[in-house]
Structure 1
Amino acid sequence: MPSPAEIISAAAAWASLDPNPLTSSAVLSLVSAAQAQGPASPAALASLTSAFSSRIAFGTAGLRAAMSFGPAHMNDLVIIQTCQGLASYVLSSRSPGSPPPTAVVGYDHRELPELGLSSLLFAQRTKAVLEARGIPTLLLSGFVPTPLVPFAVSERGAAVGVMVTASHNPKGDDGYKVYWGDGSQIVPPHDGGIKDAILESLTPGGEYGVAGMGGGEGGETGRLLDLYFARIGRKLATGSYERHSRTCPKIAYTAMHGVGAPFAARSFETFSLPPFHPVPSQRSPDATFPTVAFPNPEEKGALDEAKRFAEAEGCELVLANDPDADRLAVAERGKDGQWTVFKGDQIGVLLGVWMWREFGSKAPDPSKVAMLASAVSSKMLKAVAARHGFKFEETLTGFKWLGHENLRLTREGHEVIFSYEEAIGFCCGDVVVDKDGVSAAGVFAEMACEVYSRGETVAGHLQSLYQTYGEFVSNNGYYFCHDPAIAMSIFDSMRNGGKYFEQVGGYKVTGIRDLGVPGYDSAQPDKKPVLPCSASSPMISITFENGCVAQFRASGTEPKFKYYIEMAGKPGVTRDVVEEDLRVMCEVMLEELLHPEANGLKAA
């Protein structure tokens, strides 16, 4: 930990480089208060220590943190430093004789007016820095959904793309997500190379002014949106609603105070579906997120406002995008008036089976059709693949790995028709190689219309899939864990000195996969995992004799220790029995492996 004098010195030096007068003056005021040794001095020093004792890490796809001053937060100077490093890395990665690199930048509606910080300003800074370094940059016009950036990168042949968004994080946060020229989120070695280049580029090399830059290029943005929706219509819309029935559930839609509403509406038009009913209080972009404490549609209570609206309007379904519209949540009101909020794995299975039926099953060679899911997602699609003969593969957690594997399989001659992760991220088809809540909303609504035309509900249809492919019951959750050292000690305990466990709570273990370093996989002949290992982001998977698979990892973007536990029911065993078996097992397993009370873990 730096000394108080070092903190104060670093803060003063920072303020001298910061081009934002509001954040610069805020830092200088704290410096003066800390140096004065008066009543306000301890609080001022604490604020400076929080902002200047560490640096925001360039990690999962880029940056994400609270908007404020100092290297620990999102602000103008951090953006300038990041862009300088990104530009250096992009230029150094050019192959001899290749055309000059270009870039695409998009932004959402996040802002912190009291400090003059916003996604728009960060996007403008990004364009200014990249162009000053000789990289022509398209700034997309207005608030755009995240999927449009990777689409634009691929369509324009750009070398890199940046989306300025905090996605579903709390209202005070912002982020900087980076896509490589293949349209996928960055993976090694690019992430490490960019991180190193940033640390070599901390001194601003220019003024990088944004005065008069405006909100982007409207004409080119409109052209790209037209192409994006045309591609969705050609590759994903089946015409099922028009062919088979005029029956469709009444659908409510919420943008969760984000950017999604106009794009989701156009998605419905592309699929020739009846218009949805937007939740008025959550339709327009609002950086204060007034009706949700945490703008993540997965969080408990996040869909309450939409469900109340749906009940008042007589809607059977609620579709929700997260604020940057790259994820999709779904809830359904049953005939008894009770709501089912579908888990990400359940939506993934519904979409995956639909994509197989409508597209994959019609391929000349089904073995060349592929689907992907993250390792912590349900194993049900694997069972579907085994039944129908298409390829199914798992990847590490995070859509950057799904996108990377999607591209690899495509190069090898496979048609990847669906990818998903249990955190409500879905990629239907190949319009983009990243999660896309806009196209997924149209695909899901079209599927729901066909289901309703048969007199079924989506929940009933899902149950029929369980009856066909097997009962898969999951219990996913997390504990709040603010100390990374505690998470690492839990993993060390699970490793049991390299011997691991032969049983947990009386349940026999039949397989262990440890994606920490050096790594271990009992299922492999050489005991080495097929998936990449990481010292900083380990994951341990435990397979039990009774068909249960439990997986544990620490979040890369939030102070959470996550668990993903799924039980595959045996033939003839009803779902309620599987659910009860899993409930009992989870209680025993979580206590024995995690010791929540002793480790200070707080349940969500």
Structure 2
Amino acid sequence: MAEDSISSLVQTWLQWDQDPVTRREIEELHQANNTAELELRLRNRIEFGTAGLRGRMAAGFSFMNCLTVIQASQGLAKHIESQGKEFASKGVIIGHDARHQSHKFAQLAANAFLALHIPVKFVNESAPTPLVAFGVKHFKAAAGVVVTASHNPPQDNGYKVYSSNGAQINRPEDAEIAQSILKHLEPWPRAWEGDRCSGEYFDKEALHEILAPFQSRVKQYAISTVSEPYPTRPFIYTPMHGVGAIRIDPLMKEMGMRQGQEYIIVPQQAQPDPNFSTVKFPNPEEAGALDLAIKVADEENKTLIFANDPDADRFAVAEKVEGKWFLLTGNHVGALFASHLFDTIDSSKDASKITVLTTTVSSGMLQKMAESKGIQFKESLTGFKWMGNVAQDLEKTGQTILFAYEEALGYMFPAVSYDKDGITAMSVFSMAAAKWQAQGLTVFGKLQQLFAEYGHHETLNNYFRSSSPQQTAELFHGIRNGPFLPKMQFGKFKILRWRDLTEGFDTASSDHKPDLPEDPTSQMITLWLEGGVRFTLRGSGTEPKVKFYIECCSDSRGDAVKSVCGAFFAILKDWVHQYAPSMTYSNELSTSSGSVLLVDKETLAA
């Protein structure tokens, strides 16, 4: 598209797009001679990566809309067809969340596969993403598609793709699909007839075929994690205006829990609402996202909150501790899951044949816990597109993968599926909370018990807001070419190890090659510092952010907090202010134990 004139791009768009809303957007911009906006919308294509597409819904090749969904689906369908008739005959399963346009996008996607006589199992109602991840394996499908933007703002949508193994697509398949999309951009003759999907290759009853097996598998697995039934610890649940409650409610009933007694769903957030009207940002990690759930919990005199994000693949926990609400981090919940699941391992089993997984930006605590039990530990690159595939590779060698997690509230249980699953996570955690209650422990109390045994692991995770990919690239270019690596010094900290997975460099190995795959498509640098500090700086693959993940393990909570805060100020002063001074960030950050860090000019000067 680089050599095309903007007028030519406009004409191509109007020739291909049959959606009256997005056609009108481009027509009005063209009539107003708004070249700058047309360049933004039409010059570059929305990137196919991170298991598919995600972005703002608007007209133009750069955004999520009917045409870009059709193009992605045609490319994916052709890719599947190229694998042979027998493979393509396995079909695809397609689901969607309750966001604006999600059902329409899903229908248009289905139409592309039907055009090539690739069977479609269509989940005709809004459903959680984990249901489709489970469905790919259950139906032995060639692929799965979910139209969802997960926890993004209401103006966004996305297109998530699963490979035939039930895990998110990964390289090289993602690049192969991206190339196939570019070869099939022009909509096929009946591409816009998505709302009239029908015929022998179209099964719109997939939800009813898969729901009972999914719920049965989740229930069986959750119950199998406790040695005996314990009285439920009551909790408040919020699906964050998403699709979680649609499936959680019947599942909880199957597990013997009654709404209004063992659990209460936040009424204002129980039904799907694509505008997410009671939250500023529908992500349980964000400050204020659980305010309404906390209000209901206080009114109902409950001290435990569970939350899913809108497509129910993430899971969050909050607990009232000594009169104040404590939001557990993903690392906290990951350690608690590990402790709970380790209890399920039969003493007669060879622990060395069991593996747990986490990512490079998650806490080091899981490794300590696993090694203390003789269990194998494996680290992967960030995201479940890596962990889901690594898990299956390990299974081929005879390993049993107990579970995997990443710090961004994602938990995977291969006994159910190979992607993060907030529904299974909630079901299992409810069993764990009941067990700990019977032992006289709160969730927070169990966490402190683990810290006493394995060291206090304090983290400070947040992000800098980047104005553009170019600004992100400039920041990392400055870091790599600065004095830090040659001097092995960072602020007041001595650098013990420097790993750059973008460029495939690691000071810890004799040949300076890392033990993890390099990924030149993403920005990621990790430093190990004197004093037990480790941190990673990485560019987000789905949002305009540069994320940082800082951790320190210490016998003292106070020392750990001091160290992670010191590392943050070094990142801010020596890196961000030097190489990307216009990046914005929160002036108030909280460490994982709730210590508040205020960032102002006076503090920085000191």
- The two structures have a TM-score, normalised by structure 2, of 0.91
- Report the more deviating stretch, 260-269 or 134-143: 260-269
Separation in 2, partners of 1:171, 1:509: 42
Q: Distance in 1 between matches of 2:215 and 2:328?
A: 26
Residue 51 (str. 1) matches residue 33 (str. 2): no
1:368 CA displacement: 0.5
Tell whether 2:136 aligns with 1:150: no
Q: Partner amino acid for 2:280? A: A
Residue deviations 1:268-322 (CA, integer Å, cap 9, x gap)? 3344345420001111001111111111111111111111111111111111100
- 2:121 and 2:204 in contact (8 A); partners too: no
Checking the alignment, whether the CA contact within 8 Å between 1:425 and 1:437 is kept in structure 2 is yes
Q: 1:269 to 1:369 in 2, by over 3 A?
A: farther
The answer as to whether partners of 2:123 and 2:205 remain within 8 angstroms in 1 is no
SS of 2:534's equivalent in the other structure is: strand
| CA displacement 1:183-220 (0-9 Å, x = unmatched) | 00000110000001111111112222124449x95643
- Provide the aligned length of Structure 1 versus Structure 2: 578
CA contact (8 A) 1:332 1:340 kept: yes
Residue in structure 2 matched with residue 463 of structure 1 by the alignment: 448
1:11/1:426 Cα in 2 relative to 1: closer, same or farther (>3 Å)? same
Find out whether 1:304 has 2:291 as its counterpart: yes
Q: Match for residue 416 of structure 1?
A: 401
Alignment counterpart, residue 370 of structure 2, candidates 385, 394, 401: 385
Deviation at 1:363, TM superposition (A): 5.8
| Matches of 2:207 and 2:389, distance apart in 1 | 26
Within the alignment, does 1:109 sit opposite 2:86 as a pair?
no
- Which residue type is aligned with residue 351 of structure 1? F
Query: Which residue in 1 is equivalent to 2:32?
Result: 33
1:272 maps to which of 248, 256, 259: 256
Shift in Å, 1:598: 5.2
- Aligned match of 1:351: 337
Which AA in structure 2 matches 1:146? T
Cα deviation for residue 395 of structure 1 reads 0.4
In 2 relative to 1, CA 420–598 (structure 1 residues): closer, same or farther, beyond 3 Å? closer
Q: Is the 8 A contact 2:120 2:203 kept in 1?
A: no
Q: Distance in 2 between the 1:544 and 1:107 partners?
A: 44
SS in structure 1 of the partner of residue 538 of structure 2: strand
| Residue 192 of structure 1, aligned match among 164, 175, 196 | 175
Structure 2 residue identity aligned to 1:408: D
Displacement, 1:99? 6.5
Q: CA shift at 1:266, angstroms?
A: 3.2
Residue identity matched to 1:574: S
Query: Structure 1 CA distance, aligned partners of 2:383 and 2:6?
Result: 35
Give 2:106's aligned residue.
Answer: 123
C-alpha distance 361-462 of structure 1, shift in aligned 2 (>3 A):
farther
Helix, strand or coil: the match of 2:433?
Answer: helix
* 2:71 is the alignment partner of 1:81: yes
Instruction: Give the stretch that moved more between structures: 71-80 or 580-589.
Output: 580-589
Distance verdict in 2 for CA 1:362–1:145, change over 3 Å: farther
- Contact residue 109 and residue 194 of structure 2 kept, 8 A: no
Equivalence map 1:358-369=2 (5 Å)? 358=344, 360-362=345-347, 364-369=349-354
Q: Map of 1:176-255 to 2, 5 A cutoff?
A: 176-208=159-191, 209-213=193-197, 219-238=205-224, 240=226, 243=228, 245-246=230-231, 248-255=232-239
SS at match of 1:602: coil
Name the SS of the counterpart of 2:223 in structure 1.
coil
Give, in whole Å, the separation in 1 of the partners of 2:278 and 2:511. 53
Is the 2:307–2:316 Cα contact (8 Å) retained in structure 1?
A: yes
The DSSP-based 3-state class of the residue aligned with 2:5 is helix
Structure 1 residues 448, 197: closer, same or farther in 2, change over 3 A?
same
Q: CA deviation at 1:21?
A: 2.2
| Deviation at residue 86 of structure 1 after TM alignment | 0.6
Deviations 1:424-474 (A, max 9, x none): 000134210000000100111111111122232111110000111111111
When the two chains are superposed, the root-mean-square deviation of aligned CA atoms in Å is 2.1
CA contact (8 A) 2:380 2:390 kept: yes
1:398-449 Cα deviation digits (max 9, x unpaired): 1100101011111111110110010000013421000000010011111111
Aligned to 1:320: 307
Q: Distance in 1 between matches of 2:90 and 2:38?
A: 39
The one-letter code of the counterpart of 2:553 is A
The match for 1:293 is 280
Deviations 1:118-139 (A, max 9, x none): 1111110111111101211111
Matching of residue 510 in structure 1 with residue 492 in structure 2: no
Asked if structure 2 preserves the Cα contact closer than 8 Å seen for 1:271 and 1:446, the reply is no
**SS in structure 2 of the partner of residue 147 of structure 1:** helix
Change (3 A) 1:371 1:267: farther
Most deviating of 422-431 and 403-412: 422-431
Matches within 5 A, 1:166-177: 166-177=149-160
Shift of 1:361: 4.8
Distance change >3 Å, CA 89–CA 552, structure 1 → 2: same
Query: What's the offset of the Cα at 1:239?
Result: 7.2
Which residue identity is paired with 1:102? G
**Aligned match for 1:257, one of 241, 263, 272:** 241
Equivalent residue number for residue 552 of structure 2: 567
| Counterparts of 2:312 and 2:271, CA distance in 1 | 13
2:318 to 303, 315, 331: 331
Q: Distance in 2 between matches of 1:448 and 1:191?
A: 39
List 4+ stretches of structure 1 deviating above 6 A.
none
2:426 is equivalent to residue 441 of structure 1: yes
AA matched with 1:31: H
Distance 2:186 2:414 in 1: 43
Distance (Å, rounded) in 1 between the aligned partners of 2:580 and 2:417: 45
Could you tell me how far 1:501 is from its partner in structure 2? Answer: 4.3
Q: 1:91 aligns with which of 46, 67, 81?
A: 81
Match of 1:41 in 2: none
For structure 1, which runs of at least 5 residues remain unmatched after alignment? 35-43, 112-117
User: How far does residue 141 in structure 1 lie from its aligned partner after superposition?
Assistant: 2.3
Q: Secondary structure at the match of 2:276?
A: coil
AA of the residue aligned to 2:243: V
Which residue identity is paired with 1:329? A
- The answer to whether the 8 Å contact 2:222/2:431 transfers is no
The alpha-carbon deviation at position 230 of structure 1 amounts to 1.3
Q: Structure 1 length as normaliser, TM-score?
A: 0.91
Distance in 1, matches of 2:495 and 2:556, equals: 23
Report the counterpart of residue 51 of structure 2 in structure 1: 61
Alpha-carbon distance between aligned partners in 2 of 1:284 and 1:420, rounded to the nearest angstrom: 28
SS at match of 1:541: strand
The whole-number CA distance in structure 1 between the counterparts of 2:19 and 2:583 is 39
Cα deviation, residue 87, structure 1: 1.1
Is contact 2:550-2:567 (8 Å) kept?
no
Provide the secondary structure at the position in 1 that maps to 2:194: coil
> Matched residues in 1 for 2:471 and 2:108: separation?
38
Distance 2:270 2:172 in 1: 39
User: Given the superposition, is the C-alpha separation of residues 21 and 146 from structure 1 closer, same or farther in structure 2, using an over 3 Å criterion?
Assistant: same
- Name the amino acid aligned to 2:276: F
Work out whether residues 471 and 580 of structure 2, in 8 Å CA contact, stay in contact via their aligned partners in 1.
Answer: no
Conserved? CA contact 1:372–1:394, under 8 Å: yes
Which of 498-507 and 13-22 deviates more?
Answer: 498-507
Of residues 543, 546, 557, the one that matches 1:558 is 543
Distance 1:469 1:239, change over 3 A: closer
Whole-angstrom CA distance in 2 between matches of 1:362 and 1:491: 48
Q: 1:97 to 1:344 in 2, by over 3 A?
A: closer
Q: Does 1:161 align with 2:144?
A: yes
Tell me the CA shift for residue 2 of structure 1: 6.7
Contact 1:355 1:417 (C-alpha < 8 Å) held by counterparts: yes
